[in-house]
Chains A and B, each alone.
Chain A
Amino acid sequence: MKSKMMKSVFAGLGALMVATSGVGEAAACGGSYFPEIEVDFRPMGIAMAEKQLEQGKTAQAAATIVRIMPHVASLNAKKSKLTERAQRVLAVAIARNNGKLDIASEVPSYAQSHWVGKDAKERAANLTFAVNTLRTVNTIKKDDPAVQTELAEALSRVDSSRSEARDILEKLAKKDLIATPEGYAVLAELRAKAGDSKGKKLALKRCEAMASSASVCRTTA
């Protein structure tokens, strides 16, 4: 008797599934509207994030990326230009915020992951992501001073790679190819740490001429 009942229940469920399988998208959402054609918002979102980054709104830029691609860290930049661009924005934002992204108010908690950098371990993980990402982008781009400048920024945030950062920036500076004021700010900082106060002043002067905001050129050294 019991098994007969079970059979009837399963048959009924099966019939229901068959009956609803041919129904359009709208019905699948319980009758509420659901677009037939989905729009990929990533290209517009990434372009917006790039603009925000250029305007100095680093946390906003990172938040934009994490909101539209919460799984961004797990993607392969070598396989998709969009991934490359998204990861690059996020990596630069991390470097400019020393591993700690103030995105809690803009990104749902389930997507925040370690990006907020609540402790030293998370911040270090974020900086490792930034360095690895920019190394990958640098490999893809081969010879792009803008990427090299950004990589140097990220490297300068990790104790063990500061000399590599300085090497990159000094080479670029010699050819007047440091692509951003942030790059000159980092060079000033690295020169100061190496005891080159004259070099620091020169780099700061370039930074101040290029930057739209004086805060960009404030160094910790």
Chain B
Amino acid sequence: MGTAEPAKTPGRPGADTQVVPLRHPGRPRTEMQVVPLRHPGRWVAAAVVCLLAAMAVHSLFFSNVKRDGVTESRFEWDIINHYFFSTGVLEGLGVTLALTAVAMAGGILLGVVLSIMRLSPNPIVTGSSWVYIWFFRGTPVLVQLLFWYNAAYIFPSFTLGVPFGPALAHFNLNSWLTPFVAACLGLALNEGAYMAEIIRAGIISVDEGQTEAAQSLGMSRLQALRLIVLPQAMRVVIPPTGNETISMLKTSSLASVVVAPELLFRVEQIYAANYYVIPLLMVASLQYLWVTSVLMVGQYYLERHYARGAARQLPPTPLQRLRRWLLIRPDEHRWARLAHPKTVPLAGYPHE
């Protein structure tokens, strides 16, 4: 054996081979109390936030104000409540939803085509996609909306036919290009440019080996893109697309400028007649808010769907988490742990 014999582990006589002692040789095995670190700063922060929240709730729902000698509730909730379900507002909301759906569907379709064009081996195709994106991202969407609204001034009629040859169909743009159509066109064409970049980012994010594996099975370039690359790109594409949808819901309010009868336009019409400006703007905001909330939930489940195979195990949904949280013992709740930090007995001694 070597000259430097390591310290023998106590309680193990006869172990004369090389044994690395895990515990400190001199100390006996003990049960130790572990005191968790206290966080007084967190309690202060929580108190400040609670105070501010209480003030906001009070000002929103419980405070009154004197207007022209009459005391009334500050935010006039009765008026908000009355107009929230009024026909004009609900019709406006319907137009807003239709505008958002059409613009996003058109934008996504256009985005897929533009992004595939952008990745094409043909430089003219790539270049034209680049020019499109450059132009539509480079000019304000409000200007684009105004342009489409006034397009009938430049192109009073629109003819489908053989280039420089006979005409097949004829449209009178003055009657065809209604405010709604102009708004759809403007928003969709603009959105297409942004979606193209989002989808392109998704496509590049998929490893090239995936395309190679698909091609080695005999798939064509487009088949590989459709069956293998795009479904994987979705994971990268969906969060920003959800973002774009939520953003589009609110951007569609710009269409009020071109007198499309969407939510904000209808609300403006109502308050122009009765001067309840703030309550009606609150109505519009609350409508936008609840639709956005629904869209967020939809995005969450869509993301989960396309996370298949990307994570070993999907995290529980908020509903599953809530169910689990309700089922465990009350003293294990996070709140209970916050109030009564326990000392935890720890078996043994941490090895050195």
**A and B associate:** no
Interface residues of A (CB under 8 A from B): none
